[in-house]
Amino acid sequence: MAAARRKVLFVCMGNICRSPTAEVVLREQARRRGIEVEVDSVGTEAYHVGEPPDPRSIHHARLRGYDLTPLRARQLAADDFARFDVIYAADALNLREIRRRCPAEHLPKVALFLGTEPLPDPYYGEAEGFEEVLDLVEKRVDFLLSDWSAANC
């Protein structure tokens, strides 16, 4: 029996750095492994709605073979809570905001993406911050996909 497609939502503050990076890395790594996944990303704030990801995110992702250019920022919407199986927050601040907006029946779906640690925000930093985000996201996505594959054996 085929496993059901997982529906994953990544959330950061503006949806231009961390969450779109996580979205594309998960989508691409899942595709490479033949794992069906529906993935999207949003921001808790509306600062950048309709804008593409940060050019630095696009650049550093491209160096690793990921294309962020088709993405456009959007804000977390009420129907996202019912639509997705799991909602990953980039950090504690966004986790609190997601939980504040989340209907009680969907709270078990909400978690911190890296488990117990925040995914650092590279927005105000240098190139190293974008590389660190990619390193952390790739490592965590690899773990999640391996875990999901093992669960479906």
- Length, in residues, of the chain: 153
Of the listed 6, 12, 17, 40, which one is catalytic?
12
Three-class DSSP category at 126: coil
Residues 87 and 109 sit within 8 Å (Cβ to Cβ): yes
**Residue 43 neighbours by CB under 8 Å, 6+ apart:** 11, 12, 13, 14, 15, 16, 19, 49, 73, 74, 75, 76
Residue corresponding to tokens 């996505």: 141
121 is catalytic: yes
Tokens of 22: 């996580």
Interatomic CA distance for residues 93 and 8, integer angstroms: 19
Of the listed 40, 54, 91, 121, which one is catalytic?
121
102 is catalytic: no
Of the listed 18, 54, 102, 140, which one is catalytic?
18
Q: How buried is residue 56: exposed, middle or buried, by Cβ count under 10 Å (0-12/13-18/19+)?
A: middle
Residues recognised as catalytic: 12, 18, 121
